[in-house]
């Protein structure tokens, strides 16, 4: 098997493994969210129905009949209520949070048409090669070299920082733009938005605070029951978040390698992207900005991880190591040279 086919097979296996993990995690998160939301709804429904039936005692021939039904079928009521409320309690708020984050990234900086028209021309040329509509290009006024892409094939936006334009040569900047356009071609921003939903949902489900001490004084049994429920949900959602992070990390690493390959094919020069990665890797090793500025960067979409922690080894690393990326690009350089000969 050739190196090219091994790379393609490796990327396919990574993505299938990530999707399998994320499917399991998504089902577990959905089940937990349904039970938690449904239990809260069941308790609220009990109170409301009890109050209503108490007020209507003179009218009702069979007092507390509905309350008795609710007590007799807690799981069934909780599941039905939880499924009905799932989109409103968790799914829509999480999707709204992701859309707001992406919208903020997509309007960062000034349009390149005003500040760096050469970037717009390069992005237009690369988009034509990739057979996608021309993306909007923005330049953010930040010293730290960064680049990321949001949106999809038809409505993509690429954001680069002034630090990146300053640190890289024209050929290296072209390679970085090609990398981001490859992300747009592959729909990576939207795919990552989708796979982040179960992880963020698990975070929202497990975000409740433990019961207060006032409940311990007024009702010790209710306090212990609430504490046990809170501890169980916290442990479950913590495990689900870890599983989601692992799946997202595996998928993200595979898609970064695929974008590297797409950039090499668009430019016809894998060595330019390799040179850009080496330059950026060296620059990231010398932080010059306040850590709070770093924390605001879109590291999940950037061409390189935000700092050393996300770049380190381990199953939760969202980016392949720079050494791995350079090795893959070197193989592409060798293949390009062989094909040229």
- CB of 164 within 8 A of CB of 138? no
97 given a catalytic annotation:
no
Q: Cα separations (Å) of 72 from 24, 109, 216, 282, 283?
A: 31, 59, 28, 65, 65
Question: What residues does 157 pair with on adjacent strands?
Answer: 136, 150
How many Å apart are CA 134 and CA 141, to the nearest integer?
22
How many Å apart are CA 262 and CA 178, to the nearest integer?
7
Letter string b/e over residues 148-160, b meaning 16 or more CB atoms within 10 A of that residue's CB: bbbbbbeebbbbb
Question: What residues does 94 pair with on adjacent strands?
Answer: none
Indicate which residue of 53, 180, 256, 283 is catalytic. 180
- CB of 176 within 8 A of CB of 164? yes
- Residues with catalytic function: 180
């Amino acid at each position: 098997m050739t190196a090219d086919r091994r790379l393609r097979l490796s990327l396919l296996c990574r993505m299938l493994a990530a999707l399998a993990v994320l499917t399991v995690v998504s089902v577990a998160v959905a089940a937990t969210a349904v039970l938690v939301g449904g239990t809260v709804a069941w308790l609220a429904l009990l109170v409301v129905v009890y109050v209503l039936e108490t007020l209507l005692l003179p009218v009702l021939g069979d007092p507390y009949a509905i309350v008795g039904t609710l007590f007799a079928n807690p799981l069934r009521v909780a599941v039905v209520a939880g499924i009905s409320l799932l989109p409103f309690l968790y799914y829509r708020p999480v999707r709204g949070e992701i859309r707001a984050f992406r919208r903020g990234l997509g309007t960062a900086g000034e349009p390149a048409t005003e500040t760096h028209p050469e970037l717009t021309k390069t992005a237009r040329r690369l988009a034509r090669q990739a057979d996608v509509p021309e993306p909007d290009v923005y330049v953010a006024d930040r010293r730290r070299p960064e680049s990321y892409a949001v949106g999809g094939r038809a409505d993509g936006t690429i954001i680069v920082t002034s630090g990146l334009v300053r640190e890289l040569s024209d050929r290296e900047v072209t390679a970085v733009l090609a990398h981001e356009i490859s992300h747009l071609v592959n729909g990576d921003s939207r795919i990552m938005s989708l796979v982040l939903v179960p992880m963020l949902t698990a975070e929202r489900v497990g975000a409740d605070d433990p019961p207060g001490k006032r409940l311990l004084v007024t009702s010790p049994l209710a306090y212990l029951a609430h504490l046990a429920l809170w501890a169980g949900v916290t442990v479950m959602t913590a495990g689900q978040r870890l599983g989601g992070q692992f799946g997202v990390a595996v998928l993200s690493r595979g898609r970064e390698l695929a974008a590297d390959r797409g950039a090499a094919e668009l430019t016809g020069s894998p060595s330019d992207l390799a040179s850009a990665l080496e330059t950026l890797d060296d620059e990231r090793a010398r932080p010059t900005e306040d850590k709070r500025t770093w924390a605001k960067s879109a590291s999940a979409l950037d061409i390189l991880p935000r700092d050393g922690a996300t770049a380190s080894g381990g199953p939760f690393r969202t980016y392949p190591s720079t050494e791995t990326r350079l090795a893959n690009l070197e193989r592409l350089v060798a293949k390009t040279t062989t094909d040229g000969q």
